[in-house]
Chain A
């Protein structure tokens, strides 16, 4: 799920950037500046949804903003809007689950997402309570505790929002994405660099990636 990684980096770095993405045969761009995404609500929401499902993503820092509008949607608001009612194709779901399996033990930060009409704020609060209770959040547990398909979708949306906005971070150090050095061009890293152990989750993730590419 490279798109999540690069959206997170854009937001955490807090520097002007352009995210170029390709979904199917269409290539498009989303600009980020002054803590917000450029465009109208509808436009930004749709672009973010496309980015979630993009085939390839590339981030360009220090882009030219001369031809873009001055309208900005604050990042938490934009992410909340893009995720409102968002459901996944089986391919995206499988990819999100694979992504979740790679997340280490986490800390969860509390942020007033309800101010930005985050539809799944209740689930986010419960996730935070789980973290407070245990001192750590295992996202894998959080997702697998879903009671039904709808609940799983909600939990995956919470994972996406909190990850992208930097509200979750690794429990053991090196957690701060802000320490990321700005790069001229960040090419998408391959997800095949996951754990070398031939555990069942690793095997399933490899199969998922292969079948997506059929």
Chain B
């Protein structure tokens, strides 16, 4: 009899043109199902293609666990999707274009909705920090009124950078998770002491 596979989700979200699709691709070990189409609205001034559905990738953790990565569309009008996306999710990564004021304003709307409706560990990745006019992580945190949420510079094109951002989120999630769990005195510590 085969053991059933457990699936957890990681949501990568944020405004248009922040690097979400790229990050999903970098973290997945499967072919990513992207739903990019030619942009028609104001987004066409930023980039030729934009995500209209969900980017989807899979990272196999081990024989019994898979992490499914979801990259959401970058417009706040898709906020309603959170209800479905957050179910079984271990956390959310917001990516925001550090150089774009419109991106910040959209991010503010998205993050406000997230804070009010979703209870998940979260980190914010500030992309395009290498470009002129980029706001610093501290400026972004202040502008977006992020409170305790960590803002970390990230190059979405760089796999290593994406890994570091994800590990930061997972570290936060781990601390939150242990606080929620009952004590288990059945520790396997043979190799520790």
Q: Which residues of A contact B (CB under 8 A)?
A: 5, 89-91, 93-94, 97-98, 101-105, 138, 140-141, 143-144, 148-149, 152, 169-170, 174-177, 189, 192-195, 197-201, 203-208, 210-212, 214
Tell which of A91, A101, A192 touches B174, judged by Cβ atoms closer than 8 Å: A101
Tell which of A91, A97, A138 touches B164, judged by Cβ atoms closer than 8 Å: A91
Interface centre among A140, A189, A203, A207 (most CB of B within 10 A): A207
Q: Are B184 and A203 in contact (CB under 8 A)?
A: no
Can you list 21 A-B pairs, Cβ within 8 angstroms, ordered by A? A5-B191, A90-B165, A93-B167, A94-B167, A94-B168, A94-B170, A101-B174, A140-B178, A144-B176, A170-B193, A198-B6, A200-B180, A200-B181, A203-B6, A203-B65, A203-B90, A207-B8, A210-B60, A210-B62, A212-B163, A214-B159
Q: Are A204 and B6 in contact (CB under 8 A)?
A: no
Please name all residues of chain B whose beta carbon is closer than 8 Å to the beta carbon of A149 when the two chains form the complex: 150
B60 to chain A minimum Cβ distance, whole angstroms, is: 8
B126 to chain A minimum Cβ distance, whole angstroms, is: 14
Q: Are B175 and A97 in contact (CB under 8 A)?
A: yes
Please name all residues of chain B whose beta carbon is closer than 8 Å to the beta carbon of A103 when the two chains form the complex: 187, 189, 192
Known: A104-B189, A175-B193. A212 touches B175 (CB 8 A): no
Known: A144-B175, A201-B174, A201-B181. A212 touches B167 (CB 8 A): yes
B97 to chain A minimum Cβ distance, whole angstroms, is: 21
A71 to chain B minimum Cβ distance, whole angstroms, is: 30
In the complex the two chains form, what is the Cα distance from A189 to B190 in whole Å? 10
Please name all residues of chain A whose beta carbon is closer than 8 Å to the beta carbon of B177 when the two chains form the complex: 199-201, 204
Q: Are B191 and A189 in contact (CB under 8 A)?
A: yes
Q: Are A208 and B167 in contact (CB under 8 A)?
A: yes
Please name all residues of chain B whose beta carbon is closer than 8 Å to the beta carbon of A214 when the two chains form the complex: 27, 59, 159, 163
Known: A94-B174, A152-B175, A204-B177. 7 other contacts (CB 8 A): A105-B185, A144-B176, A199-B181, A203-B90, A211-B27, A211-B163, A211-B166
